[in-house]
């Protein structure tokens, strides 16, 4: 069909530009010399705008309209119909915002991030608050252009988690929150786990070798990717056959980098598993931020922090750092990497406390967008919730309300994806366990290929063809439910703490 061909050709043009942009981003954050920053920013700005213009071009509008009209849509294959649906959603979202408003938003969030960095360093929330006010004002304007059914926050959520709504999230939170708070109280009453041996001196060379081993073990394809160093680790897809992982090695502790690498490896397995059929179509990436995070969290926590995986992998860790770990038994190491402790900082949180950090952010950002909370009252509201959920209050705003870059970058509506990822991860893993009875034995033998094939078949290969909700139903037979996560953490951590 001629029109489909034309659409695919246009999508390829956009994708090829995006691929170049990704490669330049990767370079910017790994090897680019510092004096190249300005030139790179100009080049990136130009190419990104070019790709954006093609996405919202009149030609794109006409092609999508023709293909969505009744006569033409009946002759589309399933894949083509998905292509039209997803690209139309992208097109409409991009078209909805007047270019001047979008431009203003991009410039404001860039300035705001610089202000945030300074405010965090100086523990000065007041200096950042005018920027946050401005970001909120622009986002509220954008929300009106996007449109929404029930809650203005829905429109922002949709940018990261298509199909998710505020009311669905509130439902999940109301089920999960009391269970987590009570579990944390129970665990905190117990003697703390000793994890002192996780600190020491760990050479970069040994850490790097270990990270490579971990990636190989989970099935990351080094012929379709590579591992490099950066300051804030990320995974980036240049295109089909080229999915790159980055990590940061800290010399005084190896755990953060090892589990950080496994986390990024989970993201990378997803991208490496996407069907080559979707190459250059804009469908060749993850279904949503939450589904993406489910893949990284599964590898990092459900697999990487499991007794089974460590019974296979811990000897390799011991061999990497014999001085510190040769006399530490597996049992002690397993307990140490699963220690539960209420903490101020989200990115350092364990599996039990992590989702509460997200709920806190979700509740506050929703209240900000809906004008139920004023920016000047935000630090107090933050601390009150910290006290309510964890029984601790951060000693400074730098360790509290100023810790994350998301709000400064205008990414309101993003945080819930992290929680959804944790929930999806357990639900997916549970289904895999039922369909692969030998799975735990395989993991204990370092064999992850059966699980990887299962994930590829159920999730990875589909790219963005299905919305998260549908993907979840297809993979697990039901909608997302927090029940699996609750059972998982209660079972795992009661055992570890001997409750």
Question: Shortest approach of Zn ion to residue 162 CB, angstroms?
Answer: 18
Stretch that binds Zn ion, among 102-110, 180-188, 290-298, 409-417 (CB under 5 A): 290-298
Question: Shortest approach of Zn ion to residue 296 CB, angstroms?
Answer: 4
Q: How far apart are the first and last CA of the chain?
A: 64
Question: Shortest approach of Zn ion to residue 243 CB, angstroms?
Answer: 14
- Given the residues 264, 300, 351, 365, the one annotated as active site: 264
Question: Shortest approach of Zn ion to residue 197 CB, angstroms?
Answer: 27
Applying CB under 5 A, what is the total number of residues that bind Zn ion? 1
Q: Alpha-carbon distance 72 to 54, whole Å? A: 23
Length of the chain: 499
Question: Shortest approach of Zn ion to residue 182 CB, angstroms?
Answer: 28
Comparing CB distances to Zn ion, the nearer of 334 and 428 is 428
Stretch that binds Zn ion, among 124-132, 292-300, 402-410, 428-436 (CB under 5 A): 292-300
Q: In what order do the strands lie in the sheet with 242-247?
A: 227-229, 242-247, 235-239
Closest CA to 442 of 303, 348, 325, 295: 303
Inter-residue contact 165 to 151 (CB < 8 Å) = yes
Contacts of 108 (CB under 8 A, 6+ apart): 131, 134, 135, 138, 410
Comparing CB distances to Zn ion, the nearer of 15 and 296 is 296
Contacting Zn ion within 209-238 (CB under 5 A): none
Comparing CB distances to Zn ion, the nearer of 64 and 289 is 289
Q: Alpha-carbon distance 189 to 498, whole Å? A: 12
Inter-residue contact 351 to 302 (CB < 8 Å) = no
Q: Alpha-carbon distance 387 to 363, whole Å? A: 15
Contacting Zn ion within 264-283 (CB under 5 A): none
Question: Shortest approach of Zn ion to residue 293 CB, angstroms?
Answer: 5
Comparing CB distances to Zn ion, the nearer of 281 and 296 is 296
Question: Shortest approach of Zn ion to residue 378 CB, angstroms?
Answer: 25
Contacts of 93 (CB under 8 A, 6+ apart): 146, 158, 159
> What residue is closest to Zn ion based on CB?
296
264 is catalytic: yes
Stretch that binds Zn ion, among 142-150, 189-197, 250-258, 291-299 (CB under 5 A): 291-299
Inter-residue contact 40 to 28 (CB < 8 Å) = yes
Inter-residue contact 307 to 321 (CB < 8 Å) = no
Among 207, 237, 296, 398, binds Zn ion (CB under 5 A): 296
Comparing CB distances to Zn ion, the nearer of 379 and 413 is 413
Write out the DSSP string of 11-38: HHHHHHHHHHHHHHHHHHTTT--GGGHH
Three-state DSSP class for residue 239: strand
Inter-residue contact 340 to 353 (CB < 8 Å) = yes
Stretch that binds Zn ion, among 162-170, 175-183, 224-232, 296-304 (CB under 5 A): 296-304
Comparing CB distances to Zn ion, the nearer of 369 and 420 is 420
Question: Shortest approach of Zn ion to residue 426 CB, angstroms?
Answer: 16
Write out the DSSP string of 321-378: SHHHHTTS-HHHHHHHTT-----S-GGG--TTTHHHHHHHHHHHHHHHHTTSS-GGGH
Beta-bridge mates of residue 199: 253
CA dist 464 → 282, 368, 467 (Å): 8, 31, 7
Question: Shortest approach of Zn ion to residue 263 CB, angstroms?
Answer: 6
Q: Does 51 bind Zn ion (CB under 5 A)?
A: no
Comparing CB distances to Zn ion, the nearer of 83 and 218 is 218
Comparing CB distances to Zn ion, the nearer of 257 and 281 is 257
Contacting Zn ion within 342-361 (CB under 5 A): none
Q: 462: which DSSP letter?
A: G
Stretch that binds Zn ion, among 18-26, 29-37, 289-297, 475-483 (CB under 5 A): 289-297
Comparing CB distances to Zn ion, the nearer of 296 and 476 is 296
Alpha helices in 370-482 (DSSP H): 378-390, 416-435, 439-444, 449-458, 468-476
Q: 43: which DSSP letter?
A: H
Name the one residue in this structure whose structure tokens are 């900000």. Answer: 368
Binding site for Zn ion (CB under 5 A): 296
Active-site residue list: 264
């Amino acid at each position: 069909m001629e029109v489909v061909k034309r659409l695919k050709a246009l999508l390829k043009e956009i994708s090829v530009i995006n691929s170049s942009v990704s490669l330049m981003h990767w370079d910017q954050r790994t090897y680019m010399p510092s004096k190249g920053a300005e030139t790179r920013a100009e080049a990136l700005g130009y190419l990104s705008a070019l790709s954006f213009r093609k996405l919202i071009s009149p030609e794109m509008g006409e092609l999508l309209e023709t293909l969505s009209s009744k006569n033409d849509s009946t002759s589309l294959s399933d894949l083509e119909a998905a292509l039209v649906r997803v690209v139309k959603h992208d097109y409409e979202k991009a078209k909805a915002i007047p270019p001047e408003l979008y431009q203003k938003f991009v410039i404001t969030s860039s300035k705001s991030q610089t202000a945030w960095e300074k405010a965090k360093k100086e523990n000065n929330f007041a200096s950042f608050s005018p920027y946050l006010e401005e970001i909120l004002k622009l986002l509220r304007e954008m929300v009106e252009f996007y449109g929404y059914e029930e809650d203005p926050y829905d429109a922002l959520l949709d940018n990261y988690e298509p199909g998710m709504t505020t009311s669905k999230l509130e439902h999940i939170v109301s089920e999960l929150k009391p269970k987590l708070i009570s579990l944390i109280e129970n665990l905190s009453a117990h003697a703390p786990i000793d994890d002192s041996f996780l600190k020491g001196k760990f050479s970069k060379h040994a850490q790097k070798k270990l990270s490579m081993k971990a990636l190989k073990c989970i099935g990351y394809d080094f012929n379709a990717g590579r591992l490099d160093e950066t300051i804030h680790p990320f995974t980036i897809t240049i295109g089909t056959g080229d999915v790159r992982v980055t990590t940061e090695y800290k010399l005084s502790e190896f755990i953060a980098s090892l589990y950080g690498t496994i986390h990024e490896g989970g993201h990378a397995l997803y991208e490496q598993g996407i069907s080559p059929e979707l190459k250059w179509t804009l469908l060749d990436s993850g279904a949503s931020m939450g589904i993406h995070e489910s893949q990284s969290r599964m590898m990092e926590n459900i697999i990487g922090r499991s007794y089974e995986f460590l019974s296979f992998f811990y000897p390799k860790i011991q061999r990497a750092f014999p001085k510190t770990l040769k006399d530490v038994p597996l049992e002690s190491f397993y307990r140490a990497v699963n220690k539960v402790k209420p903490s101020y900082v989200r990115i350092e949180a364990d599996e039990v406390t992590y989702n509460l950090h997200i709920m806190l952010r979700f509740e506050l950002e929703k209240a900000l967008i809906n004008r139920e909370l004023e920016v000047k009252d935000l630090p107090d509201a933050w601390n009150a919730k910290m006290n309510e959920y964890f029984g601790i209050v951060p000693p400074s705003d730098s360790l509290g309300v100023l810790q994350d870059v998301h709000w400064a970058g205008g990414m309101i509506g993003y945080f819930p994806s992290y929680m959804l990822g944790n929930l999806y991860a357990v639900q997916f893993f549970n289904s895999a366990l039922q369909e692969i009875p030998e799975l735990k034995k395989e993991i204990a033998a370092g064999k992850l290929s059966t699980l990887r094939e299962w994930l590829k078949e159920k999730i990875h290969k589909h790219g963005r063809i299905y919305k998260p909700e549908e993907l979840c139903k297809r993979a697990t037979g039901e909608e997302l439910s927090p029940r699996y996560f609750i059972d998982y953490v209660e079972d795992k951590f009661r055992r570890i703490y001997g409750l």
